[in-house]
């Protein structure tokens, strides 16, 4: 009985670590994409595409997510908001229940 309980606790901790890894990866990709899209020679669409590329390289090309972008105003300056939505990875990378969403913003300078 103790072995079964320890196994369940261990698998729960591993799954929690995986969920946090996916969330942090999505957040980092969104922030990098937002910064990329606010460069002087880049467009907001290129920032969203960069976000998709980073997610595919980090989590695999079969990982399903929606990436959106919108031009916004941040502190009186033009900026970019990149939003990523993916299924909540409850069993490995399989999205079983709920949704995980992150967003990041960057200001265009110059």
Render pLDDT for 56-99 as a digit per residue (tens, 0 to 9): 999 988 888 999 999 999 989 999 999 999 988 777 777 777 88
Helix locations, 1-110, DSSP H: 2-37, 44-59
Predicted pLDDT at 96 = 72
Cα(58)–Cα(22) distance, integer angstroms = 9
Phi-psi region of 95 (alpha: psi -120 to 50; beta: other; left: phi over 0): beta
SS3 84: strand
Kindly report the CA angle at 92 between 90 and 97, in degrees rounded to 5? 20
Domain boundaries, the chain: 2-107
Render pLDDT for 23-60 as a digit per residue (tens, 0 to 9): 999 999 999 999 999 998 999 999 999 999 999 999 98
Beta-ladder partners of 89: 95
């Amino acid at each position: 009985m103790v072995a079964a309980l320890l196994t369940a606790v261990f698998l729960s901790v591993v799954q929690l670590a995986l969920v946090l890894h996916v969330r942090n990866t999505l957040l980092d990709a969104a922030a990098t994409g937002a910064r990329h899209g606010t460069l002087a020679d880049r467009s907001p669409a290129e920032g969203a595409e960069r976000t998709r590329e980073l997610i595919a390289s980090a989590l695999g090309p079969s990982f399903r997510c929606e990436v959106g972008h919108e031009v916004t105003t941040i502190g009186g300056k033009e900026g970019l908001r990149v939003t990523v939505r993916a299924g909540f990875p409850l069993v490995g990378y399989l999205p079983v229940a709920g949704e995980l969403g992150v967003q990041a913003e960057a200001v265009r300078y110059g």
